[in-house]
Amino acid sequence: MKTKQEALDWITQSIGRKYDFDGYYGFQCFDYANAYYNYVTGGTLHGDGAKDIPFSNDFTGLATVYKNDADFVAEPGDIVVWGSQLGNGFGHVAVVSSADFNQIVVVEQNWLNGGWTEGPKRGGTGWETATKRVHTYHNPQWFIRPSYSQSVVKKAAATVKKAAQKVKAKVLPPTFKPNINRGRSNEAYVMGTIDSLGAEVRKRKGSRATGFNWDSKAGYSLNLGDVVYIFEIHDGWGRIYTGDLSGQGSNDWIWLGRLQVSKVFK
């Protein structure tokens, strides 16, 4: 298993190249995704079409599959799969280079149907290369996130810890930037306490397409010193509880200006 940085480096160097992973039908979108997945995990993706990838493979220990919803934000290195609305019913697949809440930047093959334009089905060729392109989010759509190796990260962390102990200096946590949107997570981004002004808890309404607002009150407030964990950040607001995807407490937010951050987790 490769590290995330190794995966991102592969994506960068792949632009402008052609990939025919299975040797058939030239340079298909599936070929590019398979070349990437094989490099990162050592595995191979299966399916009659790109749309089958999330359902025709056992990703245990190799990757996690996420279905796109109103709260999802892709990450660089994700494999993104479109459903049967594309590719004449076969779907489409690409690899995310960068993303925010509104769009994804991907590297992909055969978007313009130039992957196989001449020659036999085995050994044929085409003019279209792996190309960087911007797309909006769609439904249905799935994102496959590799379980990257952490070896390099752990080694670097150990080195930093050792150096800090050697000089007996305090290692400061990363800077928290409440103005940068971060997608819903199962683990908290930061922990902090409510300041002296207190924080009224709100509900988020709307959608990615129409825009969000936090005009609805949740019916309770947090007071000075209350400990809060933030699991999602959007437009300066922070989701204070994830729990289940729906139900009590799953859509509770505070204005992050009221949060005094004490620890940054990621």
Higher pLDDT residue, 82 or 157?
A: 82
72 found inside a domain: yes
Nearest-angstrom CA–CA distance, 168 and 40? 38
Q: Are residues 115 and 176 in the same domain?
A: no
The tokens describing 247, both together, are 């139900």
CATH for 260: 2.30.30
152 found inside a domain: no
246 burial type by CB count under 10 A (0-12 exposed, 13-18 middle, 19+ buried): exposed
Instruction: Rounding to the nearest 10 degrees, give the CA dihedral for residues 95, 98, 100, 104.
Output: -40
Q: Are residues 136 and 181 in the same domain?
A: no
Window from 11-20, 34-43, 146-155, 218-227 with minimum mean pLDDT:
146-155
Q: Are residues 180 and 142 in the same domain?
A: no
Nearest-angstrom CA–CA distance, 106 and 93? 10
Q: Are residues 141 and 178 in the same domain?
A: no
Nearest-angstrom CA–CA distance, 31 and 109? 8
Q: Are residues 114 and 186 in the same domain?
A: no
Nearest-angstrom CA–CA distance, 210 and 141? 19
Q: Are residues 138 and 9 in the same domain?
A: yes
Region class of 206: left (phi > 0), else alpha (psi between -120 and 50), else beta: left
**Cα atoms in the Cβ-side hemisphere of radius 13 Å centred on 189:** 24
215 found inside a domain: yes
CATH for 124: 3.90.1720.10
Higher pLDDT residue, 237 or 186?
A: 237
Q: Are residues 17 and 130 in the same domain?
A: yes
Instruction: Give whichever of 53-67, 165-179, 194-208 has the largest mean pLDDT.
Output: 53-67
Catalytic machinery residues: 29, 92, 108
Q: Are residues 175 and 139 in the same domain?
A: no
204 found inside a domain: yes
Nearest-angstrom CA–CA distance, 171 and 230? 22
Domain span at 205: 171-264
Q: Are residues 108 and 220 in the same domain?
A: no
Window from 20-24, 201-205, 241-245 with minimum mean pLDDT:
241-245
Q: Are residues 123 and 199 in the same domain?
A: no
Nearest-angstrom CA–CA distance, 218 and 214? 10
Q: Are residues 214 and 110 in the same domain?
A: no
pLDDT band, very low/low/confident/very high, at 1 (cuts 50, 70, 90): very high
187 found inside a domain: yes
- Say how many domains are in the chain: 2
164 found inside a domain: no
CB 2 within 8 A of CB 149: yes
The total of other beta-carbon atoms located within 10 Å of residue 77's CB is 22
